[in-house]
Amino acid sequence: MREITYCDALNEALRECMTEDENVVLLGEDIGSYGGIFQVTKGLQDEFGAERIVDVPIAEAGFVGAAVGAALTGMRPVVEIMFIDFTTVCMDMIINQAAKMRYMFGGKGSVPMVLRTNIGAGRGTAAQHSQSFHSIFAHIPGLVVVAPSGPYEAKGLLAEAIKNDNPVIFVEHKRLYMTKGEVPEESYRIPFGKAEIKRAGEDITIVATHALVGASLEAAEIAAKDGISVEVIDPRTLAPLDKDTILTSVKKTGRLIVADEGHKTCGFASEITAIAAEEAIEYLKAPVIRNASPDVPVPFSPPLEKAFMFGKDEILESIKKVIAYA
């Protein structure tokens, strides 16, 4: 199968959905002729015109709120927020408006919009352009939160997000944009709330998100040489969460590592750990380990940022720790 980048896979999903449904429109900063800060919308304005691919001023509350109003009245808008850090200036529109409308209107009306954004440190962009606070959105009832881990997931999950009738926070990952993988040329959708077992194993379960799925698979490969069998699960959507797949695996292996780039405290890794503690503690043979980011802002200085980040090596250490328990 052909291989394309995560970025191009997203672009392809947008193009397909826009071709299929004229109610799909894109709003975002620099998404027009510039093609978006990470080039995800490259070429789309030429193809679909400036009425449907709209460059907006720096007014996140204004244009995200506009997407809410447009979605409520029959459109399927997709907005791009350049970095997840910038969602803080439009949080009312996301949390109080988009997420709440259907519920507080008693099931009347729906908000079929997608908010695309990204997380991830490692580009030397310091504390306001590198955060990974995707778990905040999973805390809010009424939002779907998507975490594509590779090009295949990026295309299929974005197509599903655009066709879905709920407000979707689609959280991409900066370091993945240029990674390549096999992506079918035809349209396909990956359903929400269905985790994927990326690698089957017997001794340890790793639940990983975004770029840490790849890191976990690498770690699992190395561990296999030592005879340790690791199962790697990609939840794909943080909300709704496929608890069954995770719990079935944990009950089988008895050991759990969670790898997520959010801060450790109150993060997604904490949530998975809590679920295991509540619903599968009698199966656990070892303490659960959270591989998560330290509870500090993302530092600028290269050695500090490097120390802030983690990947395959740290996950391998965790594997060694949990396997030490008989």
**In sequence order, which residues have a C-beta less than 8 Å from that of residue 312 and are 6 or more positions away?**
215, 216, 218, 219, 222
**In sequence order, which residues have a C-beta less than 8 Å from that of residue 39 and are 6 or more positions away?**
7, 11, 177
SS3 letters for 8-65? HHHHHHHHHHHHHCCCEEEEECCCCCCCCCCCCCCCHHHHHCCCCEEECCCCHHHHHH
Characterize the bridge pairing of strands 230-234 and 289-293: unpaired
Give the closest residue to 120 by CA, choosing from 174, 186, 172.
174
Q: How far is the CB of 194 from other proteins (least distance, A)?
A: 15
Q: By C-beta, is 92 or 221 nearer to other proteins? A: 92
Q: By C-beta, is 7 or 98 nearer to other proteins? A: 98
Q: Going residue by residue from 128 to 167, which x/- string records binding to other proteins, judged by CB under 8 A?
A: -------------xx-x-------------------xxx-
Q: How far is the CB of 55 from other proteins (least distance, A)?
A: 11
Taking a C-beta distance cutoff of 8 angstroms, is the pair 190, 231 a contact?
A: no
Classify 109 in phi/psi space as left (phi over 0), alpha (psi -120 to 50) or beta. Answer: left
- Of 129, 173, 210, 263, the active-site residue reads 129
Q: By C-beta, is 102 or 173 nearer to other proteins? A: 102
Q: How far is the CB of 53 from other proteins (least distance, A)?
A: 12
Segment 210 to 269, residues that bind other proteins, using CB under 8 A = 240
Give the closest residue to 137 by CA, choosing from 291, 27, 240, 260.
240
When asked if residue 116 is in the footprint of other proteins (CB under 8 A), the reply is: no
Q: By C-beta, is 70 or 82 nearer to other proteins? A: 70
Give the closest residue to 255 by CA, choosing from 196, 314, 320.
320
For the question of residue 129 being annotated catalytic, the response is yes
DSSP single-letter state for residue 174: G
Q: Going residue by residue from 36 to 65, which x/- string records binding to other proteins, judged by CB under 8 A?
A: ---------------xx-x-xx-x-xxxxx
**Interface residue with other proteins, options 34, 105, 300, 325 (CB under 8 A):** 105
Q: Which stretch binds other proteins (CB under 8 A): 71-79, 116-124, 196-204, 247-255?
A: 71-79
Q: How far is the CB of 210 from other proteins (least distance, A)?
A: 23
When asked if residue 17 is in the footprint of other proteins (CB under 8 A), the reply is: no
* Residue-level length of the chain: 326
Q: Which residues are marked as active site?
A: 129
Residues that bind other proteins (CB under 8 A): 23, 25, 51-52, 54, 56-57, 59, 61-75, 77, 92-93, 96-97, 101-110, 112, 141-142, 144, 164-166, 240
